[in-house]
Every structure is written in C-alpha cells, then in structure tokens.
Chain A
Amino acid sequence: MQKTSFLRTILMAGAALAAPGTVFAQAVDYGTLEQIYGQPVTTSATGKPQLASRVPADMVIIGADEIRQSGADNIPDILQFVTGIDIRRYSWGDVQVGIRGYDTPSYPRMLVLIDGRQVYHDDYGYTAWNTLPVQLDEIRQIEIVKGPATALFGFNAAAGVINIVTFDPLLDNVNSATARGGTQGYASGSLVATQHLGTTAGVRISAGGYLSNGYQLLSGSADPFPPQQGTWNISGRWQVTPTVLLRAETGYANAHTLTQITLDTFGDEANDASYWRFGGAADTRLGALDFDIYRNMTIANFEQGGPLNNTADVLVAKVSDLLKLNADNTVRVGLEYRNSGIQFSGYGGGTDSYDVYAANGMWDWQISRMLELTNAVREDYLQLHDTGIFLPSPGRSREIYDSTTLAALSFNCGLVIRATDNDIFRITAARGLQLPSLIDFGGQILYFGGLVAGAPDLHPTSVYNAELSYDRRLSGLGATLTSSVFFQRNTNLLPFPGYTLSGFYGREPIFSVNNIGSSNETGFEVGARGKTSGGLRWNLSYRYASISQDITASAAEIQNTQIQYADGTPRHEIVWGLGYSLPQWEFDVQARWQSAYMDFMRPSLSSPGAVPFPIADYVTLNLRVAYNITTYFSIAGVGEQVNLTNQIETAGETVDRRFFAVARLHY
C-alpha cells in the first residue's frame, strides 16, 4: 500500500512537470558547457552542474579522447590507469574494480552507474562489467569519485562512484563502426548510430559484442568456458517544448564468462541483463526539476549448480529539484524509492527483497569568490521482505525478517578554497554506507554442503572519510599537479563471503554473515598530468594506502578468510603514461605497477575455507599506435601487457599478453 501511494505520487509529479505553461528549461549540455569553460562539467559530485576543477570531491574524469587513446576495448582496462583504482581480473569477463582497497572477488563498495542509472547488482553486491550495454564510442566521459558519495547516490557509494556519461542523442551526433581482432581468438565489433528527428528529438542506437578463447587457467590449460558478450541499447531524447525534455532508454546484454569456485572447479557464469528507463527534466521558476524511473532485470545462470541461479530485479523511482536561491546559495532536494529483490531457483523459488525510501538534500554556499561550502545529507529507510518457503533457524523467522527495518544517515561536506587562480584546496568529510547484499540479508541457497541463510540483523558498513586535497595548475608547463591525503574509518565491516555457522536446518548446517569489526585506512595520492601544444601528453602518479583492521570474529568462526583487507590491498601503485599526437599518427604508452597483495582461494569444494594466495608485485604495460587514414577512418594496433606473456594478477585466470588490431569509422 505504501509502495502504491508512493508511485502514484511520483507519477503525479511527473505529470505536473509535463503540464504546459509551467516549465521552461534545458538538459545539461555537457558538450557546449565544456566548450565554454574548456574543461569537463559534471553533476556527479553534488547533483548540480559543476566544473571538474571546482567540485568538492576527489574526482577524476576520463574524456572520450583519452578512452580512444587508451586503446582499451573494455572499461576496466581504461580504469586500471587511474590512480587509486584497483583492478582484480579473475577471468576475461570477470573483473572487479575497486577504489582505495578492500578488494574482493565481488566488490560491493562502489556504485557504478550509466548516466545516473545504477548498474551495480544489489543481489550479490558487485558490478558485472561485461554486461554493461554501452559501447566505448558512445561514452562522453567516465567520472570517478574517490571516497563516499552515499548522500547523493544512496547505498553502496561507499568507497566511491563511477558514473559513465554517454553522449546526448539529441545534442550530440555520434556515429561509428569499430571492428577489432587479435590474439586469443578475439573478435569484436561495435556500432553506434545517432538519428536526429528534426531539431527536437534524437535517438541513438548502439550494439556490440565479442568472442574470445579467454585467458589461461593457472594450470596453463585453456579456458573451458570461452567468454562472449553481446549488447544493444536504444536511447532517445525528446525536447517537448524548448524547456521540457523527456528521456527513454532500453537495453539488453548477454554475457558468458568463466567463474572460478575452487582451484579446479569452474563454471560458466551467464547473465542476461535488461533494463528500461523513462525520465524527464524541466526548468521552472521553482528550479530544475528531474524525474527518473528505471527497472533493471538480471537472470543469472551458473552451470555448476542450480541453486545458485537467480533472477534479480531493481526498480528505482526518484524526483529532484535543483534551485539557485540567490547569487550565493543553491539547494537540491530529492526523494527516491527503490525496490530490489532476488528470486532463487532453489527451495520453492523464494524471493527476498527490500524497499528503500530515501530523502536527500544538498546546500551549496558560495561564501566568496574564493570559498565554496557544500553540504549534503540523506536519510534512507529500508524494510526487508520475504516470500516463498522460509527456512527458519535460531534467531531467524519470517516474522523477524519481515519486521526488520533500518534507517541510515549519510552525509558529504566539502569546502573548496580557491587560494589563487592556480591553487585549489579541498577539505572534505563524508559518511558512506555499504549495504549488505541481498544474499547476505536474506539468501536461502544450498551451497557446497551447507545452507547460506541471510542475516536480517546485519548493519550496513559505515565508511567515514576525511580528506585534504590540493591541486596546482602549472600554466607554464600546461600541466596540473594533484595531491590528496585521506583517512578512512570503517565500522560494522562486512566480510566476503565470510559465512559463520549459525544453526542447523534439519541436518544441514546454516551459514550466515556477521558484521566482523572495524578498520582504518590512511593513504595519499600525488600526481601530475600535462599536455603540450606540440601534441605531447603525459601523466605520472603514485598512491600509498595502508589498512589496519580490528576483526572481532575469531578465525574459527569465519569459514572464509577473505576479510584480510589489510593484506588484500596493495600498498603502492604507480601509474605512468606518455602519448604523442601528430596530424595522422597517435602513439600511446601506459604503464602501471602495483605492489604485492594477498588474494584467497578455496582449494576444493570440501575445504572449510579459503587459503591465502599471494600475488607478487607486477607491471602492466600497454601500447597503442594509430594511423588516421582519413578524418573519419583510422586503424590502430594495440598491445596489452606486452611486458609479460602471462601475469598472475589474482587467484583466478592469468592475464595474458594480448595484441589486437582496430579499424574505426566515425563521423
């Protein structure tokens, strides 16, 4: 009943926005604003359009040119050269992207979005990067927020946010066809086409996919489940009046990749992911109004065990208003409803879900030309639900489960100080929240001789972050120096998967997740990047991160030991890049070194837990040479990890040297 009335409110608000005579507005025209200001514009820090150099957050923006010059054919390979980002590639298609450590085979601490739509999976708490229905050629910029941003984006924007911003089908005209082929039996293709319907509507259609033999197993054997992927997406914009905009999108992805359960147990993880989305924006005298409704549906199939199959469903509806009160003060208020559920194939097809009701606000105060203070706060109220057969265990009944609620407050505060035209300081403080995954909250699956049952009394992990950063523009060098030092405290840590024996269902042991303690992290980053008028591009950066943890659960209680976050985070990381552009040629080199860390691996199905799997420090060196045959057609050769034939980067597959050729037509 509560859900129905809330949705009705949302729809009524949307109808009010569309009513003629009440509105006059425009969408964020990223391209023109970037032309005006000479730097990217983003809304990912506070929800209001801001210049990248002035956001009250530690943010990196990767533009379309940098994406192309990277030579990469997938987003994680682009992100690996961003300082502070950790990549764990367990197989060709199974890769997790983390920020500032706490890396695990499923990374639940970062919210990944495409144009503001969550593609993070609430069910298991991870992002399936190989199912994102977006082609690299249609990406305008990738925005990376380092540090919590829950007050704007909600749960799981705990360690950071990655927002993939695509070109606007109405304002941008992007058309491309790209083919790639290379070693490992790799072949891929992608198409992006934009059609403007008069001056008030535009549609962009994209599709792409790949086939590959995959990387090698640690044993040296070939990947038993060669990866493949296919996606399509349609995105439309309609400028209903000069000031009212409607958006509609839909997309689909099917991806197969190897997933590794033990050292010698593998499965084909196949995901069918689809979504639809509808929204709109309008500028009124009451502010810039926006509404957004979308639904993500994922069917996950794991060949090695039926009980692991599931169907996940996320429905999000939100409205917001951004209003500049006067010359110095801007506020943003928003309401959000979220329903996230997972239906298991085992035990009678039970469904676990939660409803989240959230309210958020942001206040931006331009104290002076030098000082800008931003405060954002959000309150989330969550209620758990369970349907289908319920498996009772000590302390866990349907009544307990269905009556479980939690309320959580998150905030972001940031002071930006423009000390001079060339010097910017930022002081930020935040509280982010990592919600337990649906599996941890309410899973009911038979898993290798035990029953995994959710724990409704789990608390979200709170991530407190304090940070000081300093940017200096080195005008004479055409370069910018960036630096930051941060302290992060995590309470109510959640283990991965870290199941503890909590009782018995008949004769079957039941395993549940407990909050396991707290941790502190300190670190700093320093880097510089520049570009000369002669076409030379360069960047060099270093990150240090150190985690100390206070785990309250004993080792014997934790079946899986992947909670050694301190050892599991590489302390040192160096990223270096050099590029040179001529009218027809482009040359790029990118390199990354990270220090050793500890991964974990379950030796066999019968083993009680995981064992340490040390990963030595390693270097990744990528090369790209491109030749522009015409303004519209180019060819390129790309070498990835050219320095080593096989690199052990995780306890999963090795990451192997790759070469591939690229032919790209764009206009």
Chain B
Amino acid sequence: MRSWRTELKRKLFRGGSFAILLVHLATQPAAAASLTAKDALIIAKALGFLEPAPAGGTVAVLYGSDAASKADAESIAALFSGGLSSGGGTITAKPVDATTLQDGAGFIAVIVAAGGPGEVAMKAARSHKILTITASVADVQAAHCVMAVQTDPEVDLTVNRAAAQEAGLRFAAALAMLIHEI
C-alpha cells in the first residue's frame, strides 16, 4: 500500500500535468486546424462514452490528397500531443493518408481533416466499429461521418443516427440524451 505522501505526490504530479496541458492547449494556434484544442478535449471525453469505451489508443487523423488537408491533419494531431485523457485511458492522434488507412485496424477512432475523404473513414467505421469525427455538420448530414463537433457559440455534438447504427456504434445513455441526432 502506498503511503499518503506517495499518494499526495502522485496527485500533485497529476494536477501539475493537467495544468501544463491546459496551458499547452490554450496556446495552440486554433485557426490553423479545422478543429480546435477545445474540440480535441471534447472528442477525447466523448470517446469515453462509447459502449464499450476504448481503453486509450491512437486516433487516425485522415487527410486527402492535397497539401492543405495534410496540414490540417497535422495540426489536429498536434492537439493530442502528450495524450488527452479519456474515460478509458489516454488518447493520442497521428495523421494518416487516406490511401493507407485501409480498414482502420489499430485505431480507436478516425478524425476526418478538412478535405479528407469521409467515405474512407466510414468504411473503417463499419469494419471495426470505430467512431468517425469531423468539424463539418454537412458531412454528418450526408452520412460521410458519424459525429460532428462544434464548440462555437456553444458545444454541440451532432450524430448521424443511421451512420452510427450502420457502424454498430452506441453511446452511453447519459451522452446519448445530450447529443443532437439527425
């Protein structure tokens, strides 16, 4: 059994790490990516409400053939640098070329960067029951992605119910009651 001093040090370290993370996220250049640091935090937290929730892992940030899409993916992946806490563990992200994603094996979710091919992500979603995420509500309406994250002027999670069911995805009731399904 750990002593209370050890426990306190552990909590201090955790608290300090969280503060550093907040500072890090607050100083990220939000305009560079289609998603913001706040979006990334929300995505990480939302993944913890999947049933079953992934026990940490890596999120693929899918980009298309053009340079702008790749840059967006790299910016989004950078928001996860150091790992973000989720319900089941720590989430990291890495940019992935759409031509190399295949069926999404090895990833716990796919974020579709601006210009990324949503249909490729959806194929991975169906193959491995993983969540696909975008900043574009239109892509969710078109069933090119399962969930859209918006934070301005207030947080809104939009989920395509049919796409989620097709991918075999289900959110815990607490979040399911709050998300906006279409």
Contact = CB atoms under 8 A, between A and B. Distances in A.
Interface of A: 24-29, 32-33, 35-39, 41, 48-51, 53, 242-243, 283, 287-288, 322, 324, 326-328, 330, 366, 369, 421-422, 473, 475, 631, 667
Given A32-B87, A35-B41, A36-B46, A50 B177 contact: yes
A631 B135 CA distance: 36
B105 to A, nearest CB: 23
Contact of A53 (B11, B15, B154, B173): B154
A28 to B, nearest CB: 5
Interface string B26-64: 000000000000000110011011011100000000000
Interface string B151-182: 00111010001000000001011111110111
B173 A283 contact: yes
B178 A51 contact: yes
A305 B122 CA distance: 75
Contacts of A28: 174
Contacts of B11: 667
Interface string B1-30: 000000010011001000000000000000
A322 B161 contact: no
A1 to B, nearest CB: 36
B182 A327 contact: yes
A33 B175 contact: yes
Nearest to A54: B178
A288 B51 CA distance: 13
Given A25-B51, A327-B181, A38 B154 contact: yes
A24 B51 contact: yes
Interface of B: 8, 11-12, 15, 41-42, 45-46, 48-49, 51-53, 87, 153-155, 157, 161, 170, 172-178, 180-182
Nearest to B170: A24
A39 B151 CA distance: 12
Nearest to B152: A421
Contact of B154 (A27, A35, A328, A421): A421
Contacts of A473: 153
B138 to A, nearest CB: 14
B51 A32 contact: no
Given A26-B173, A242-B52, A287-B173, A37 B15 contact: no
B178 A283 contact: no
Nearest to A32: B45
A128 B46 CA distance: 40
Given A35-B41, A38-B154, A473-B153, 12 more contacts: A26-B51, A32-B45, A36-B42, A41-B178, A49-B173, A49-B175, A50-B177, A242-B52, A328-B181, A422-B153, A667-B8, A667-B11
Contact of A421 (B153, B173, B177, B182): B153
A288 B173 CA distance: 6
26 contacts: A24-B51, A25-B172, A26-B49, A26-B51, A26-B172, A29-B174, A33-B174, A33-B178, A36-B42, A36-B46, A36-B155, A36-B175, A37-B154, A37-B155, A49-B175, A49-B177, A49-B178, A50-B178, A242-B53, A243-B51, A322-B173, A324-B173, A328-B181, A421-B153, A631-B15, A667-B11
B177 A330 contact: yes
B177 A322 contact: yes
A151 B101 CA distance: 51
Contacts of B12: 631
B48 A32 contact: yes
Contacts of B161: 326-327
Contacts of A48: 177
> Which 8 A-B pairs have CB atoms at the shortest separation, nearest pair first?
A327-B181, A288-B173, A26-B172, A421-B153, A28-B174, A49-B177, A37-B155, A327-B161
A175 to B, nearest CB: 9
Contacts of A27: 174
A94 B182 CA distance: 51
B86 to A, nearest CB: 9
A475 B41 contact: no
A29 B153 CA distance: 23
A631 B49 CA distance: 30
Interface centre among B8, B11, B157 (most CB of A within 10 A): B11
Contact of B45 (A35, A51, A287): A35
A304 B99 CA distance: 85
A657 B59 CA distance: 58
Contacts of A326: 161, 181
B178 A475 contact: no
Contacts of B182: 327
Contacts of B49: 26, 29, 32
Contacts of B46: 36
A10 to B, nearest CB: 21
Contacts of B157: 36
B173 to A, nearest CB: 4
Contact of A49 (B48, B53, B153, B174): B174
Contacts of A35: 41, 45
A29 B53 CA distance: 14
Contacts of A33: 174-175, 178
B155 A25 contact: no
Nearest to B175: A33
A384 B172 CA distance: 41
A36 B41 CA distance: 8
Nearest to B176: A324
Contacts of A322: 173, 177
A25 B49 CA distance: 9
